[in-house]
């Protein structure tokens, strides 16, 4: 396990500011860009075109492919940390009629807009680190969350998820970030840090004659596949399948590498191959035994 940091410039600061990991619904929703109610809520097609198709280089479509491979339409399904619930709502449109979404909270505006557009939307508040779900389910989905957990919280997560599943129940899990390895270290802790803290800062100083501050954000934690599988095994989960997707996302965070990917076709092909070492989406299908 390794801590995951992100680096930003602060136009109003002049020193270094350290920000801790997101702890509340409000902090995390802000980090995700906010859960605003936009014009996309005017129709289902507008909603999915904005928040599902092509979102973050197709990440949600990768989730959907893996979920529909392993979860039955007849299952009673709980989604944990659903956020805007784009994946879950798309599944509902495809005949998965027994899905309940959950999160630490939800804004009244987003809840009302979602129910207005998708009357079958079901939601309740749940903190899976504090307690299991109030009933047991056939399948549980958890997408883009466990990167917020250290190893102790990850154990609590698997323990409470196990208690929320029926015997033989399924857990479909996304690792929410590339694995802890040397390449992810070079990208995030070397290249992206250098670009943000030194290159972009110097460029802005030349333009504004002001040396901006630096924000270091503790974004989360990185785990290897074996880290995740080992903790899952402790709480009675058996891995049945895993699949990696999204091999360009980590490289495209870099201005320099993204320029290469967008301008040179062979570079894109090379990074797609090398990117198998740092897939942004790593999906796991566990069964409770």
Per-residue pLDDT reduced to its tens digit, 235-266: 999 999 999 999 999 999 999 999 999 999 89
Place of tokens 């990991």: 21
pLDDT of residue 13: 82
pLDDT at site 54: 87
Q: H helices within 118-243, ranges in order?
A: 151-163, 182-185, 192-194, 201-208, 225-234
Q: What is the pLDDT of residues 194-238, one digit of tens each?
A: 998 889 888 888 988 888 899 999 999 999 999 999 999 999 999
- Between 265 and 85, the more confident residue is 85
Q: How far apart are CA 72 and CA 51, in angstroms?
A: 24
239 contacts 282 by C-beta, under 8 angstroms: no
Number of domains in the chain: 1
The answer to pTM > 0.75 is yes
- Write down the pLDDT at residue 216: 94
pLDDT per residue as tens digits for the range 12-47: 888 889 999 998 888 888 777 788 899 999 999 999
* Tens-digit pLDDT profile for residues 154-180: 999 999 999 999 999 999 999 989 999
Give the model's pLDDT for residue 208: 87
Question: In this prediction, what percent of the chain has a pLDDT beyond 70?
Answer: 100
On average, the pLDDT of the chain sits at 95
Domain with 206, as residue range(s), is 2-288
Predicted local distance difference test score (pLDDT) of residue 30 = 79
Q: What is the pLDDT of residue 12?
A: 86
Mean pLDDT of 88-110: 96
Band of pLDDT at residue 72, cut at 50, 70 and 90: very high
CATH of the domain at 23: 3.40.50.150
> What's residue 176's pLDDT?
87
Q: Which residues contact 236 (CB under 8 A, 6 or more apart)?
A: 162, 288, 289
Q: In the chain, which ranges are E strands?
A: 2-10, 16-19, 77-80, 99-103, 123-125, 137-142, 165-174, 213-222, 237-245, 281-288
Per-residue pLDDT for 69 more than 90? yes
């Amino acid at each position: 396990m390794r801590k995951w940091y992100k680096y930003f410039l602060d136009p109003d600061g002049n020193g270094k500011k350290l920000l801790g990991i997101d702890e509340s619904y409000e902090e995390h929703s802000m980090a995700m860009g906010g859960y605003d109610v936009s014009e996309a809520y005017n129709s289902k097609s507008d909603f999915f075109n904005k928040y599902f198709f092509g979102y973050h280089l197709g990440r949600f479509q990768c989730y959907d492919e893996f979920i529909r491979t392993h979860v039955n339409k007849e299952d009673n399904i709980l989604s944990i940390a659903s956020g805007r619930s784009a994946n879950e709502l798309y599944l509902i449109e495809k005949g998965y009629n027994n899905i309940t979404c959950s999160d630490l909270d939800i804004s009244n505006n987003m809840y009302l807009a979602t129910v207005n557009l998708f009357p079958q939307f079901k939601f309740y508040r749940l903190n899976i680190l504090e307690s299991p779900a109030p009933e047991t389910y056939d399948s549980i989905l958890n997408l883009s969350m466990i990167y917020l957990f250290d190893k102790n919280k990850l154990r609590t997560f698997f323990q409470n998820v196990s208690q929320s599943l029926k015997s033989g129940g399924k857990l479909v899990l996304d690792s929410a970030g590339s694995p802890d390895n040397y390449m992810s270290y070079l990208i995030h802790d070397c290249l992206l840090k250098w670009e943000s803290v030194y290159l972009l800062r110097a460029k802005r100083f030349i333009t504004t004659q002001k040396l901006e501050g630096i924000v270091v954000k503790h974004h989360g934690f990185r785990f290897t596949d074996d880290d995740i599988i080992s903790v899952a095994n402790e709480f009675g989960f058996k891995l049945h399948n895993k699949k990696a997707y999204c091999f360009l996302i980590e490289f495209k965070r870099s201005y320099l590498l993204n320029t290469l990917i967008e301008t040179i076709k062979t570079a894109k092909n090379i990074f797609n191959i090398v990117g198998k070492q740092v897939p942004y989406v790593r999906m796991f299908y566990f069964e409770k035994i």
